Structure 1
Amino acid sequence: MNTLINLQGKRGLVVGIANRQSIAWACAQALREGGAELGVTWLNDKARPHVEPLAQELGASLCLPLDVEDDAQLAAVFEAIAQQWGQLDFLLHSIAFAPKDDLHGRVVDCSREGFARAMDVSCHSLLRMARLAEPLMVNGGSIITMSYLGAEEVIPQYGMMGPVKAALEAATRYLAVELGARGIRVNAISPGPLSTRAASGIAHFDQLLQDANQRAPLHRPVGIADVGPLCAFLASDAGQAITGGTLYVDGGLHLLN
């Protein structure tokens, strides 16, 4: 157990585990090591065989399907939390999506439909989850999402996800203000380039990763294991005075752009 971060007695939902390379997986491990009880979700039947064994490793109390484009599934997840736990202490939102044709093209050329879907899955889903989580966070809580430097700087090949992540960070700030009176903190974590399945959809990602490793002040690769402890800290009472921020885990790369 992680003795530096105490999550004993806390229960939280982790959304976004796809495999062992997922940021959400590293975060879930850190949360569990801190003593938290977890619920996890899988995207669809294709993902389920990869996620269920990981949920078992975590000793997850809840393991449910969740495609955030399906309102019924989203409602069912939070209803299950209400029925089994009666409350929620933290929520990790670690999902993003953009249609490949729109992602690989110029931002100015992206389709209306593609942009709307990317915004819905990657940003508005956070608002929907927060709305459902709010009444369950009876003792306050922590909501955490994942962003990227492309939200505030133009990153070559990141394309339309830049504006989408910018909206996500803005949503984080607004949620922090609106939910703060209930003791609910909302923060975004912005890791450097990470070798995940989601990142593989970005054109020339290997070059982006190499450049980041060379330019970042710490001159070392950043991995998913670097993100997990920060997530656990933000979920814990140790982070109870931190809200509305974007916290970087990128070896200092954001200082140079």
Structure 2
Amino acid sequence: MSDDANRPIADFLGLAGKTYLVMGVANRKSVAWAIAEQIEQAGGEVIYTVRSDARRESTQKLLKDRRVIVCDVEQQSEIDSLAQVLADENIRLSGLVHAIAFADYSDGMRPFHETTRRQFLQAIDISAFSLTAVCNAVRERFERDASVVTIGISTTRMASESYGFMAPIKAALESSIAFLTKSFSRFSEVRFNAVSAGLLKTSASAGIPGYVDSYLFAEKVIPRGRAVTTQEVASTATFLLSPRSSGIVSQSVVVDAGMSTNYFDAHVVGAVTAASVD
């Protein structure tokens, strides 16, 4: 039997003593932070990256006594610098968490066809291409069977006006995991998966115009009557990082508390039709 199979139940996930790179912590409400906490609680070591010196300063209290590296993924030079730091210190990564997303809604939420080239290309660079760019740069730092997890959304086919132009961006991100899995299979067993999360109450999402109303609606549609939590999404990601999920490869795992199965809930339909009559 393998060493992982013989681990005591206290280390069921097999994360203890392993090192993970977590990208995207902004504050305590971040999905990245919830994942990092779970890794640390399981005995793993986390190296954090943040996008700027200002973000490192703002997270100083949260990430006290932890290793934090500045890496603005819009700058290839900073991605290369991150890879060089890991190489210089001979750090081996058992996994990577990519929880980075950005879209410029400074002009408000507008119809999709009015999305500008600059907005779209910046969003896809930061939110989608960065996964490929980072993984390529640090490929020599991965353990042979490392696990990479990115954060997607529960559906990229629903034209939700409250999410602006990010659904096509997330579709590109989630498609990338299949191609990265295939590319990396030429020289490793590194696997790539996405956690496709339902609507979450995070600081980033709260800043999206109209998002709060969609979040409240989601709670009405979800069978249990309450939204999926950041911790639930993080737990799925942590499992995907672990050897226990070694058979899950190139998948988008939906974590939405059943929202997508219940859009035609009788109470919701009734409320809408009653409002239409009024």
How does the TM-score come out when normalised to structure 2?
0.85
5+ residue gaps, structure 1, are: none
Structure 2 equivalent of residue 51 of structure 1: 59
After superposition, what is the alpha-carbon deviation per residue over 1:77-134, rounded to whole angstroms, capped at 9, x for unaligned? Answer: 1211222243211010001111114671111111111111000000000010111232
**1:8/1:175 Cα in 2 relative to 1: closer, same or farther (>3 Å)?**
same
Trace 1:20-169 onto structure 2 (pairs within 5 A): 20-56=28-64, 60=66, 62-101=67-106, 104-169=109-174
Structure 2 equivalent of residue 10 of structure 1: 18
Q: Distance in 2 between matches of 1:174 and 1:186?
A: 9
Q: Distance in 2 between matches of 1:237 and 1:218?
A: 31
Provide runs of 4+ in structure 1 moved above 4 Å: none
Q: Distance in 2 between matches of 1:110 and 1:85?
A: 43
**AA matched with 1:199:** S
**1:2/1:163 Cα in 2 relative to 1: closer, same or farther (>3 Å)?**
farther
Residue 236 of structure 2 is aligned to residue 230 of structure 1: yes
**1:215/1:256 Cα in 2 relative to 1: closer, same or farther (>3 Å)?**
same
Count of residue pairs the alignment pairs up: 254
Bigger Rg, structure 1 or 2: 2
After superposition, what is the alpha-carbon deviation per residue over 1:142-171, rounded to whole angstroms, capped at 9, x for unaligned? Answer: 111111134232223212101111111111
**AA matched with 1:75:** D
Q: Distance in 1 between matches of 2:63 and 2:160?
A: 34
**AA matched with 1:13:** L
Structure 1 equivalent of residue 202 of structure 2: 196
Query: SS where residue 185 of structure 2 aligns?
Result: helix
Structure 2 equivalent of residue 244 of structure 1: 250
Q: Distance in 1 between matches of 2:60 and 2:237?
A: 22
Structure 1 position 70, deviation (Å)? 1.5
Q: Distance in 2 between matches of 1:153 and 1:87?
A: 39
RMSD: 1.9
Query: SS where residue 212 of structure 1 aligns?
Result: helix
User: Identity rate of aligned residues, in percent?
Assistant: 29
Q: Distance in 2 between matches of 1:91 and 1:18?
A: 17
